[in-house]
Amino acid sequence: MTIFGIETSCDETAAAVVENGVKEICSVVASSKELHEETGGIVPEVAARKQVESITPVIQECFERYKESQGFSSIKDCMRSVDAVAVTVGPGLVGSLVVGIEAAKALSLALGKPIIPVNHLVGHIYANFIDNKDTIEFPAVALLVSGGHTDLVLVKDHHKLEYVGGTLDDAAGEAFDKVARLLGLSKYLGGALLSKKAQECEENTLKGKLPRPMLDQDNFDFSFSGLKTAARRIVEEKKYSTEVIAKEFEDAVVDVLTEKTIKAVKKFGVKTILLGGGVSANTSLRDRFMKESARIGIKTHIPPIRLCTDNAVYIAGAAFFNNRPEKYEKIDANPALGIMDLL
């Protein structure tokens, strides 16, 4: 089954073609990140306008690449070969979501093919199935760590998710971004830059000085706003280098995310850990998960870095495994969708 996926939940405009939920045929991602760097944060109206500008060229480029990779003689032929159109319906910015949804409706109508609504967060989980040579065994615990969400989810099977816990305040990515800003590394989406600085740290002279929030609590919830405030105090002291603060902050986040996930693995007796979301691109987090899970004989799957941040490949993948076509008139943007909605 060939699915054409569209993702426009925030500041990326993306389209992709995926076969049977696992084989990436082609993918195109355009980002308006640079515009939001200028304003030091995302202005939803600006992001939505950029989505309007980018959606048609991104879809066209994706069909071009599909045609080329499969040797179709015309774009029409390759459009006809698509079995369904998948689109992110939430969570996200409403103005951005609507652009992708309307484009998906138009394609679906023109091609006479069904449309499959996809939850962006569930999509992140399915990045693990793309071109993965290993078989993913259920039940699994999924840790979703993005700019807007930090959730622990028990994945009993496709379509069978149970919410286990999540952040009570900031998401892990949001905390990375805010501390990167405090350190003067980036005004917008500084997680990767903070991580780069942390790698340059030769000795962590702050080791253990930042809190590891909620680790001692018997639940699966997280809190990152106190950690962010503690990091601010240390930055204001001006006693430590950027590299050292970045390293200690990253270690604190990684400690909490790893330990709470391993605790969930033990409690629910699962065989597998699945990581997803932009923060799962973090090298230190990836290394720690691989090490800790190997120690207890559990397999961790982590998507390749380019599939951790937003794209349409995992949207098309998720649609294959949770294939529930909806009628056009029922498909609407839902900016506040949670991980458990739309299963």
Residues lying near ligand KG4 in the complex (CB under 6 A) are found at 10, 146-148, 173, 176-177, 189, 191-192, 195, 277-279, 281-282, 309-310
Contact in structure between 331 and 101 (CB atoms under 8 Å): yes
Order across the sheet with 299-301: list the strands.
Answer: 160-166, 150-157, 140-145, 272-276, 299-301
d(CA 83, CA 199): 45
Q: Per-residue string for binding with Zn ion, 278-317, x by CB under 5 A?
A: --------------------------------x-------
Shortest approach of ligand KG4 to residue 260 CB, angstroms?
A: 17
In angstroms, rounded to a whole number, what is the distance separating the alpha carbons of residues 167 and 188?
21
Short-list 57, 54, 40, CA closest to 11: 54
From 32, 258, 273, select the one nearest 134 (Cα to Cα): 273
- Angle, helices 242-268 vs 191-199, to 10°: value is 110
Out of Zn ion, ligand KG4, none, which partner does residue 282 contact, by CB within 5 to 8 A per kind? ligand KG4
For the bound state, the minimum distance from the C-beta of residue 184 to ligand KG4, rounded and expressed in Å, comes to 15
Report how far residue 237's alpha carbon sits from residue 65's, in angstroms, rounded to the nearest whole number.
Answer: 52
**Minimum separation from the CB atom of position 238 to ligand KG4 (A):** 24
Give the shortest CB-302-to-ligand KG4 separation in angstroms. 12
**How open is the CA angle 28-29-32, to the nearest 5 degrees?**
150
CB 79 to ligand KG4: min, Å: 28
Q: How far is the CB of 231 from ligand KG4 (least distance, A)?
A: 14
By a kind-dependent CB cut-off of 5 to 8 A, residue 279 interacts, out of ligand KG4, Zn ion, none, with ligand KG4
CA 218 to chain CA centroid, Å, is: 27
**Residue closer to ligand KG4 (CB basis): 143 or 281:** 281
Decide whether 282 or 334 has the Cβ nearer to ligand KG4.
282
Return the residue nearest ligand KG4 (CB atom): 278
- 132 to 191, contacts with Zn ion by CB under 5 A? 146
Identity at 45, one-letter amino acid code: E
Judged by beta carbon, residue 27 or residue 146, the one nearer Zn ion is 146
| Least CB distance to Zn ion at residue 193 (A) | 18
Distances in Å between the alpha carbon of 204 and those of 211, 212, 230, 247, 256?
A: 15, 16, 16, 7, 18
Taking every pair of C-alpha atoms in the chain, what is the biggest distance, in angstroms?
Answer: 65
Q: Which does 95 bind (CB under 5 to 8 A by kind): ligand KG4, Zn ion, none?
A: none
Nearest residue (CB) to ligand KG4, 165 versus 173: 173
DSSP string, 85-118: EEEEEESS-HHHHHHHHHHHHHHHHHHT--EEEE
Tokens, residue 336: 């506040």
- Among ligand KG4, Zn ion, none, residue 231 binds (CB under 5-8 Å by kind): none
Identify what 189 binds: Zn ion, ligand KG4, none; CB under 5 to 8 Å per kind.
Answer: ligand KG4
Q: Alpha-carbon distance 154 to 157, whole Å?
A: 9
Pick the closer one to ligand KG4 by CB: 14 or 84: 14
The residues binding Zn ion (CB under 5 A) are: 146, 310
